[in-house]
Chains A and B, each alone.
Chain A
């Protein structure tokens, strides 16, 4: 146990931020940075992909469906390799491990986010869409103002668990030399030689703390919004007598 603190004392900064500011940012910060960037980019792409899958136009829904099925059917490691070898061929020059991993995560996770968003939209009562259209709102306005706000809120827990997944998936950046937390930990472990258990205990604990606190935050947020929507219990009609337009006749 004591050794863990010694390791943390000696290598804490390396685990936290890698070589930074003397080299590229690494460690926990790199993990967080790549995950947050991946979410920020994958989320809008995922939403668009999800909407495309549900769109009434085949030229839009079929490619989106194909994309989602393809990516959900292959391991993330394959996507890492394909991006690593193909992107330089396509654009003609090398890109950093960080950019490669970011691309991979965005491509891969957007497929999963698309499925979450699609599920969230399809779970809404169809009447919501019809009511909005019956008021004269266009398909896109309906999606933006009525459907997505509800669907995204309802899928918040799944979306956060996807973010947690992304954080965990970012460990694969290790194989293409992205200096994230796992990579930094391996450096430390190689230096110390005899203490892999302690080092990787630190790493596991760090991942757990990050992921657990995110889940916790999401639950708080969800409860807060749900509470705002129903501050008071429904009141029976008798409590608030309606001002009738005309004298009610017996039914």
Chain B
């Protein structure tokens, strides 16, 4: 069986600025990839190209045999199979927590309301928020909102989950609750791609770490290797900068 996601010579420009440069990589089924690197290195751009929130200019990204940026790709159907969690949660503030989770299964997959409600209950239990089903997003803390956002993405039963700096907008004491939900997902065998600055999470959970700078993946390695003996000089500098504070 081939890789679940494959980047093949991907290039992307913002005007004259090249955000991704000849980037090739792959993610296997069940693999947890953590993407790290300095600000502006193209991490978020890269993860956002996977469900086509960002277009690419050149190359190919293949998900489960489908060319994501192909002109005949059925984008909405594709996106139902790729869970995406944003840095800023982006819950829908005008509907309750349960409705946030039920909306896309009902409106896109055509799941019946009672079934969607039952499933939302299960997902909320999984992220430890059963008692918040009828609350509105504004009544939740940041950590709780992000856990709901994860539940909302899981409601589509995607085979892969993408996390774009899921804890960067959180107060420090709320980071742990979100990461523990993500750990749980990883242990259940979910294929995951996470952009994060949480190096402990990367060390404990990642199967592979991609270190990015200037739109390229400079190093792909196992966490134990990445944190003890990084190969690329830029990665060495990045890690020593992290340790110095």
Contacts and interface: CB of A to CB of B under 8 A. Distances in A.
A10 to B, nearest CB: 51
Interface stretch (B65-73, B172-180, B216-224): B172-180
Contact of B107 (A137, A243, A245): A137
A244 B153 contact: no
Contacts of A153: 94
A127 B86 contact: yes
B112 to A, nearest CB: 17
B143 A136 contact: no
A136 B141 contact: no
> What is the interface of chain B mostly: helix, strand, loop, or mixed?
helix
Given A230-B136, A235-B139, A242 B147 contact: yes
Interface in B66-90: 76-80, 82, 84, 86, 88, 90
Interface residues of B, number: 57
B92 A134 contact: no
B152 interface: yes
A130 B80 contact: no
A237 interface: yes
Task: Name, among B88, B129, B200, the residue most crowded by chain A CB atoms within 10 Å (CB to CB).
Answer: B88
A200 to B, nearest CB: 44
Nearest to A128: B90
A75 interface: no
Interface stretch (A27-35, A80-88, A142-150): A142-150
Contacts of A135: 79-80, 103-104, 108, 152-153, 156
Contacts of B189: none
Contacts of A128: 90, 92
Contact of A232 (B53, B78, B139, B175): B139
A132 B138 CA distance: 18
A9 interface: no
A231 interface: yes
A125 B136 CA distance: 18
Contact of A235 (B77, B127, B141, B187): B141
B175 to A, nearest CB: 6
Contacts, number: 134
B86 A131 contact: yes
Given A131-B90, A134-B79, A149-B94, A237 B184 contact: no
A69 B235 CA distance: 54
A125 B198 CA distance: 26
Interface string A57-86: 000000000000000000000000000000
Given A133-B79, A243-B128, A246-B183, A150 B138 contact: no
B94 A137 contact: no
Interface in A217-241: 228-237, 240-241
Interface of A: 125, 127-128, 130-138, 141, 145-146, 149-150, 153, 228-237, 240-246, 248-251
Given A146-B103, A234-B141, 16 more contacts: A131-B86, A131-B90, A135-B104, A135-B156, A230-B139, A235-B141, A237-B144, A237-B173, A240-B144, A242-B147, A242-B181, A245-B126, A245-B127, A249-B204, A251-B198, A251-B200
